[in-house]
Amino acid sequence: MYKNLVASSNIKMRSTPEKLWRVLTDPEKIKEYLFGTKVQTDWKVGSQILFQGEYDGQQYTDKGNVTERKVNELLKYDYWSGFSGLEDKPENYSLVTYRIEKLNDNEVKFTWHQQGFSSETGQKHTEEGLKGMLKKIKELAEK
């Protein structure tokens, strides 16, 4: 695991922290912006998160654990993917952070940050998907 590899991006949108939080944590909305992934969790600190879906014809179940949560502001979880090729053990988990910053009454900035990848290829794959994912999150939060 290369803990120094990072994929990070942010986007401004006309929304509220509350509405954006719902988009980021509602399983039906997540499925829309996370490429059809089904997510199961209660988003409480210490709870497990399961990510299930299909990618290039291959079924997957990735997982993580909620490590920090400040409703409408911050969500952090560790994350392991079977696609990483690494064994499912704590040192092979990356850290994902969602940060919501209120800019004014109807504008927020959302930052998505992931640190730790099994390879530069994995990092590049995530970076490539980020632009479309953030665009979809913005679309859902501005509805």
Rounded CA-CA distance 47/65 in Å is 6
Instruction: Answer yes or no: is pLDDT of 133 > 90.
Output: yes
- Domain positions in the chain are 2-88+95-142
Residue 85, pLDDT score = 87
Q: What is the dihedral of CA 54, 114, 49, 14, to 10 degrees?
A: -90
When the pLDDT of each residue in the chain is averaged and rounded to a whole number, the result is 95
Rounded CA-CA distance 74/17 in Å is 10
Rounded CA-CA distance 142/127 in Å is 23
Rounded CA-CA distance 22/83 in Å is 28
Q: Per residue in 69-117, pLDDT tens?
A: 999 999 999 999 988 889 999 999 999 999 999 999 999 999 999 999 9
Instruction: Answer yes or no: is pLDDT of 1 > 90.
Output: no
Choose the CATH number for 2-88+95-142 among 3.40.50.150, 3.30.530.20, 3.40.50.11720, 3.40.50.80: 3.30.530.20
Q: Of 66, 140, 70, which Cα lies nearest the Cα of 96?
A: 66
Q: Are 11 and 142 in contact (CB under 8 A)?
A: no
Angle between helices 17-25 and 120-142 (to 10 degrees): 130
34, amino acid identity: L
* 8-state DSSP, 47: -
**CA end-to-end span of the chain, whole Å?**
38
Both tokens of 18, joined, read 């509350």
Residue 83, pLDDT score = 86
Average the pLDDT over 7-21 and give the result.
97
